[in-house]
Chains A and B, each alone.
Chain A
C-alpha cells in the first residue's frame, strides 16, 4: 500500500507546474519544456486545439443565423461580456458567459474572460508594443506605486527573444518612448492615415503616427514555418482562430511547440484551488486541483510553480492559498496582495471625416488595424495637470455611399453600384491609470463557486487623474484633427466601466522591498521564492502599451532565471 502511494505521488510529480495556459502560461510551458523540465500545465477551461477547435473559422457571413449579431436573449443573459466588441456570433464560444463564473462588483467592473486552453490569446487584438525606459521609471519619477525593480535594459533582450519567436510586424521608428523590436515588415498606413502622419509631423514636433505593431506573420521566418504557421492572409477574422496560424496565440504557437518536446502534460478542465505550502521545507510543494466535471480533488507536485491564471484570477488563487505560515494568502506578509490594481482607460474616442484623397481607397484588409500614436504627454518631463499620459489608435477607411432618402429601383441601384463617400477617421485613447491601494480585489467572505473557490470581489474605479487625461485627449485630438483639415469631428465618452479594456493588472506587484511589494525582480514571491508570477498580476504600473508582449518577455526571463538558479542549487 505504502509503495502504491509513493508511486502515485511520483506519477503526480513534475519538475515544474504552470497554472493557466493563456498568453503567459503558454510561454512558461514552452520555456520550461525547452530547458528540459518535465512540465504540467493545468487549465480550468476546456481543451481548444489549433484549427480543429475553431468551428466558425471558415464560415461565410451568410452562414451565421444572425449575420454576426447577438441574439437578444444572449445579450440579456450576459450584460457584462456582451459589452466586449469581440463577443459576437462568430467568437461567442471563446468567452466566459456571465452566469457561468459569477464575481462581485463592489464597483462596476466588466471582467472579460476566456476560460479554455489558450485563454484570451485566442481572441486578443494582437497589438504589441514594448515598454520604454520612461515606463519602467514612471512610478519612481512621478511618485506613485513603488519603484519597479527592473529597467528597460533588463527586459530588452527578452523582448527580442519573444518577438523573434512570436512574430511581430512593425516598423523601426527610432523612438525613445516606444523602442523598436525584432520586426517582420510593417503593415502600411493607408492614404489618409499616412496623410495624418505627415500633418502631425509638420505641425506637432515630438508626436508620431506609426504603423500599429502587431503579432502577425507579415513575412514568416523559418522558425515560424517550423511552428507550422504560414503567412497571415489578411482575413482579419482572427478572433475565430486562424487556420493559417497567421497571428500569435498559445494554441497556434507556444503550446504545440512545448508539446513537441515530449515533456509537456496538459490537463484541461482542472481548476487550481490553491498552492500547497510546506512549513518544514519553507517552500511551495505543489497544487490542489478540482476536476470541473467530477469535482474530484487531486494534488500535483513540483519544485517550481508558475502562476499564470490571468491577472485577477492569479490574485484570487494566491489569496485563497492560505496556510499556518500565510494566513492572508501565499506570500502575503504585508497584506498588500490584491491591492494597487491598475487598468487602461479606453473610454474615449473621436471620429471625423476627410474630404481629400478622393481618388484613393483601400483594397484587401489590414491585420494591424491602422496606425498607432505613442504617448506624447509628460514623457520627457511633467507638463500637464495630470500624471502620465495616453497612447492612441488611428484608423481611416473609405466609406460607401447609399442614397439615403430613396427606395425602389434607384435605391437598389445605389446598393448594387455604390459610390464612394468621404473617408472616415477614428481614434481611441489608451490611457495609463495610476495603481492605488483603494483599487483592490479581495475574496468574498462567504460566497463560493461550484468548484469551491471564493468569489472574487472587485472594487476598481476611475479617478480625477483619469478624467483630466481624457479631457486632454479630447482637446489635443480635436485640435490635431482640425489642423489636419478633418471635418465633422465628434468626441465620444463611452462611459464604460473599468475592465472592458481587458488590460487589468497588478495586485501582486513587483518591487525591491518585501514590505511594500510581493514579487522581486525575477517575479518570485519574496516570501516563497519557488513561486513565480509573470502574468498581469505582477505589474507595478500599467504604462499605455498593450500589455501582453511584456507578460511574454517577463515570463521567458523568469523561466530562464528559475532554471539557472535551480541548477546552481539556489533558492528555487
Chain B
C-alpha cells in the first residue's frame, strides 16, 4: 500500500470524528468512538487524548499521531493490556490535564493553542508541581504513542521497511553503510 492510500485509510478510521458537529469539541455525553470494556472515556476525552498524542508526535512533512489514529491504539492497549491501577491513573490523569490547562491557560486542553499544549506537556514531562496521576497519564500516553506510531503500518512500510524475511545476518555491519534517513535502514 503506498503512502497516499495509507493516508486514505487513516482518514477512514478517523472518520468517526467527521460525523460530529462542526464544533471541534465533542460533547462529554457522547461515548468514545471505539468500544471500551474497562476505561470510561467519553468522546471529548478521546479528542483530548488525540491532541495529546499529536502534541507528542505532531504532523510535519510526515504524518502526525492523529493521521495514524494513534490515540485509538493507545486506548485499545490500555483497555485490553494494562492493569486496573494503570487504567485508573490514566483516567484520573486525563481529567487533571484539563484542570492544569485551566490553571495555566484558562481553557481546557482542547481550547489551548498548539504552543500552549506543548508548553503544558513539556512541564508535565519535567514532573514538577503536577499531580502524580497526571504524570503517570502522560508517561503512559507517551510510551504508547511511540509504540503505536513505530508499530504502525505506515511507519513499518514507509519510514523503515520492516522485513519479514531478511535472509541475512551480518554481525559487523559498518554504520557508515546504514542510512538512517533513508526508508530502509535494516534495523527492523
Asked if A182 is at the interface of the complex by the 8 Å CB criterion, the answer is no
Residue of A nearest to B148 (CB): A67
User: B45 to chain A: closest CB distance in Å?
Assistant: 20
Name the CB-closest residue of B to A412. Answer: B57
B156 near A62 (CB under 8 angstroms)? yes
With both chains docked as a complex, state the minimum distance between the C-beta of B186 and any C-beta of chain A, in angstroms: 5
A60: CB under 8 A from chain B? Answer: yes
> Is there contact, CB below 8 Å, between B169 and A187?
yes
Q: Is A419 an interface residue (CB 8 A)?
A: yes
Do B169 and A234 touch across chains, with their CB atoms under 8 A apart?
Answer: yes
Residue of B nearest to A360 (CB): B172
* A363: Cβ under 8 A from any B Cβ: yes
Whether B118 contacts A71 by the Cβ 8 Å rule is no
On whether A364 and B169 interact (CB within 8 A), knowing A72-B83, A415-B150, the answer reads yes
Q: How near does chain A come to B144, taking the closest CB pair, in angstroms?
A: 10
Instruction: Check B24 for interface membership: any CB of A closer than 8 A.
Output: no
Question: Which A residues are within 8 Å of any B CB, using their own CB?
Answer: 58, 60-62, 65-67, 69-73, 187-191, 193-194, 233-235, 237, 358-367, 400, 402, 405-409, 411-413, 415-420
Per a CB cutoff under 8 Å, which of B76, B118, B153, B164 touches A66?
A: B76
CB distance from B106 to the nearest CB of A (A): 22
- Identify whether the interface residues of A are mostly helix, strand, loop, or mixed: loop
The 8 Å CB contact of B173, one of A65, A360, A406, A418, is A360
Residues of B within 8 A of A237 (CB): 164
A71, B76: Cα distance in complex, Å: 10
Tell me if B31 counts as interface (CB < 8 A to partner A): no
Q: Are A361 and B175 in contact (CB under 8 A)?
A: yes
Is there contact, CB below 8 Å, between A416 and B62?
Answer: yes
For A61, what are the chain B residues with a Cβ–Cβ distance below 8 Å? 151, 156, 162
Residues of the A chain whose Cβ atoms lie less than 8 Å from the Cβ of B20:
none
Interface positions of B from 112 to 151, Cβ below 8 Å from A:
118, 121-122, 125-126, 142, 146-151
Interchain Cβ contacts within 8 Å, total number: 130
Q: Does chain A have a CB within 8 A of B167?
A: yes
Which residue on B lies nearest to A235, using beta carbons?
Answer: B165
Q: How far is the CA of A188 from the CA of B62 in the complex (A)?
A: 38
Chain B residue contacts of A189, Cβ below 8 A: 171
Whether B76 pairs with A409 at a CB distance below 8 angstroms is no
Nearest opposing residue in chain A for B121, CB measure: A407
Nearest-neighbor residue (CB-CB) of A237 within chain B: B164
Q: How far is the CB of A230 from chain B (nearest CB, A)?
A: 11
Q: CB of B2 within 8 A of chain A?
A: no
Are B162 and A408 in touch, CB under 8 angstroms? no
In the bound complex, what is the Cα–Cα distance between A568 and B96 (angstroms)?
84
Q: Which residues of A sit under 8 angstroms from B169, Cβ to Cβ? A: 187-188, 234, 362-367
Alpha-carbon separation in the docked complex, A402 to B143 (Å): 12
Those 5 A-B pairs whose CB atoms lie nearest each other, nearest first: A190-B171, A364-B168, A363-B173, A364-B169, A364-B166
Q: B26-62: contact bitstring with A at CB < 8 Å (1 yes, 0 no)? A: 0000000000000000000000000000011110101
Known contacts A361-B178, A365-B166; can you find 14 more A-B pairs with CB under 8 A? A66-B81, A67-B148, A188-B169, A190-B172, A358-B175, A362-B170, A363-B170, A364-B169, A366-B169, A366-B171, A400-B187, A407-B122, A418-B180, A420-B175
Contact in complex: B174, A69 (CB < 8 Å):
no
Q: Which of A61, A409, A418 has the most CB of B within 10 A?
A: A61
